[in-house]
Structure 1
Amino acid sequence: GIIGDALSRAAQAAWTRPLPKSAGARLRFLMKREKGSTRAVAARVGVSQRTVQRWIKGETHPTGKSAEALEREAARDWQPRVSAEAQRRSAQAGILVETRARFGFTAAPGTTDDGRIRRIAEVLPPDVSGEMWAAWRAGDEDRLNELVGQGLGYSYFQDRGRRAQGLDVELTDIDYIELGEL
């Protein structure tokens, strides 16, 4: 999803070596990580085992969603120690989010604001950042969306707890989102 991809890019920014560019190199990397199991690679990418076998033989090539899934899965395993260190730092200091999206609100009667498109750049609290990495590893895009809404609700809309107590923020219609280290 869009937030998971943004977290992948944030993790990639800390890498010392870039992720392989070609789908073939990404496939070879995943095959090595999965000890040559076409079934395991197929399950990770969301295609049939036969499709992976065709990719290996060069009969077909990943395109569209399968190419995106191949990139995402290769990124999850690429230089894991460097990525883990970036995740640890952001879980301690927070993570910077820049987004343009529609925000909807639920609050006590008389304090609700109509949802509208906003461009926001804000640092999410460390506890939210840590939970985001856990949701990313689990592949839970809905939880990621909820966490970004919760984090922006606290940091931006509630001014880190100084106003708008009880305000629930929902993030919808994301135009773009970028996440990064401080």
Structure 2
Amino acid sequence: MGKLFDGLRKAVHAKLTPEQAAIPKTVKGQASALLREEKKRGEAGAVKRVAERLGIKPDSVYRYLSGKRKNPPKHIAQKLENEVRASAKPRLQKKVIQEAKNAPVRMSARAKIGYSNSASGRTTPDGRMRNIAETLPPAYATPLWQALEDGDEQEAMRIIRKYLQTEYIQEGGGNNAYTEINFTDIDRMDFNI
């Protein structure tokens, strides 16, 4: 999962009580939780599937499980935590998502943003890093949460782009109808239900 889904999952967990949102704190505990999740799909190849989810080798997973390696690189530790969070308490997460579908969602992001305009031929050769804070109305939030449930991050990104293009750039259909937004290189993406 990318930063978009990680941000959505964090928003879901923020709505849970501390007891409901609790995940294992140690690397060994988090690796064990992921392994249990993968074993539900079958014992054979479970460690390999955990390794693929984390983008590491199976040998590293074994070291985390045995406790021989307690401090993975920061990006691996974050990925491990995000993967555990994504698979923890699925029924509670689903309930929060269902409730969130009918409410606006606050989005805060830092990404490279540029544009192209088919009418004038103008374009930004390189987008620039910008901070955006917007509230997506239910018309956009509902399909965004559905994309999370479906595991379709490309669809979720398409929804965010459509919102930014229609409501942020074109201001609900204003005179920028030919402008298309380029939204890439996401540095940070946070959501608040």
> What TM-score bracket applies, with the shorter chain setting the length?
0.7 to 0.9
- Alpha-carbon deviations, 1:131-178, whole Å to 9, x = none? 444555676655544432222222222223344223311113445332
Q: Tell me the SS of whatever aligns to 2:191.
A: strand
Aligned residue identity for 1:60: R
Paired residues in the alignment total: 181
- Is 1:60 matched with 2:61? no
Structure 1 gaps, min length 5: none
Structure 2 distance, partners of 1:69, 1:56, is 16
Quickly say closer, same or farther: Cα 1:99–1:45, change in 2 above 3 A. closer
Quickly say closer, same or farther: Cα 1:144–1:67, change in 2 above 3 A. same
- Is 1:124 matched with 2:136? yes
Q: What's the % identity of the aligned pairs?
A: 28
Structure 2 distance, partners of 1:116, 1:40, is 37
- Is 1:33 matched with 2:37? yes
The alpha carbon displacement at 1:97 in A equals: 0.8
- What residue in structure 2 maps to residue 18 of structure 1? 22
Aligned with 2:119 (options 109, 112, 118): 109
The alpha carbon displacement at 1:96 in A equals: 1.4
Tell whether the 8 Å contact from 1:124 to 1:155 is kept in structure 2 after alignment: no
- What residue in structure 2 maps to residue 180 of structure 1? 192
Root-mean-square deviation (Å): 3.0
Aligned with 1:86 (options 77, 81, 96): 96
Structure 2 gaps, min length 5: none
TM-score with structure 2 setting the length: 0.73
Q: Tell me the SS of whatever aligns to 2:101.
A: helix
Structure 2 distance, partners of 1:78, 1:154, is 35
Structure 1 distance, partners of 2:187, 2:56, is 28
Q: Tell me the SS of whatever aligns to 1:110.
A: coil
- Alpha-carbon deviations, 1:22-76, whole Å to 9, x = none? 2222122222223363233223323333322222222223512332221121111
Quickly say closer, same or farther: Cα 1:66–1:176, change in 2 above 3 A. closer
Q: Tell me the SS of whatever aligns to 1:92.
A: coil
